[in-house]
């Protein structure tokens, strides 16, 4: 039997990580989010903190800026190295077992090689701002500014490495608004499609 993978792409603050973990728990399969970061750290030698910030986010909010950021004289960057390691690990996981993979361009990486249910989780700015204050607490930046910054950097990273637009409905099999449906209804919907 071929492994079935669920990839969860998400806007910052939409609860995608929580949804992914709960889907995996209900289905009795592994969820790779922080665990994926640890695997990349082990294979790359970079710290988990570095990978958490650099393995999914562009250093700038522009994919064009990403094309020039941190490159050596040969045109390579540490981010390119992380991308290659991340891609290899995601492909290995999909070959090894059915699982849920949160973020890290897994939907794109597995597009031609795995039986994949690709999901995008989003919510209104208001709902996401509420959630990040509740989950992560206050910061010097307004919640809205934090959301816009993270989403712009995530979008630039995705576009740079996939040449595909992040968050566009046509690029996913299902898009769910967690602010309207709620976390539990999103989990139930994804589980029912597995």
Q: For the domain that residue 143 is a member of, what is the CATH number?
A: 3.40.50.300
- Pick the closest to residue 56 from 74, 34, 71, 26 (CA basis): 34
Q: Which domain holds residue 143?
A: 4-193
Confidence (pLDDT) at 193: 96
162-192, pLDDT tens digit by residue?
999 999 999 999 999 999 999 999 999 999 9
Structure token digits, residue 155: 């979008």
pLDDT tens for 27-71 read: 999 999 988 889 888 998 888 888 877 766 666 555 555 555 555
How many domains, in total, are found in the chain? Answer: 1
Q: What is the pLDDT of residue 73?
A: 61
Question: Is the pTM value of this prediction over 0.75?
Answer: yes
Q: Is 47 exposed, middle or buried (0-12, 13-18, 19+ CB in 10 A)?
A: exposed
């Amino acid at each position: 039997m071929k492994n079935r993978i669920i990839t969860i792409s998400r806007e910052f603050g939409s609860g995608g990580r929580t949804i992914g973990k709960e889907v995996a728990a209900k289905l009795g399969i592994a969820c790779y989010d922080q665990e994926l970061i640890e695997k990349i750290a082990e294979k790359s030698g970079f710290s988990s903190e570095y990978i958490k910030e650099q393995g999914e986010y562009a250093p700038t909010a522009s994919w064009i800026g990403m094309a020039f950021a941190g490159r050596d004289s040969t045109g390579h960057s540490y981010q390119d190295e992380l991308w290659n390691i991340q891609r290899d690990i995601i492909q290995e996981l999909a070959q090894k077992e059915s699982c849920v993979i949160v973020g890290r361009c897994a939907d794109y990486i597995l597009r031609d090689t795995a039986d994949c249910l690709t999901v995008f989780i989003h919510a209104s700015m208001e709902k996401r701002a509420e959630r990040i204050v509740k989950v992560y607490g206050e910061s010097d930046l307004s919640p809205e500014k934090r959301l816009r910054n993270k989403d712009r950097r995530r979008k630039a990273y995705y576009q740079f490495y996939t040449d595909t637009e992040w968050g566009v409905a046509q690029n996913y099999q299902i898009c769910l608004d967690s602010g309207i449906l709620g976390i539990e209804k999103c989990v139930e919907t994804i589980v029912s499609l597995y």
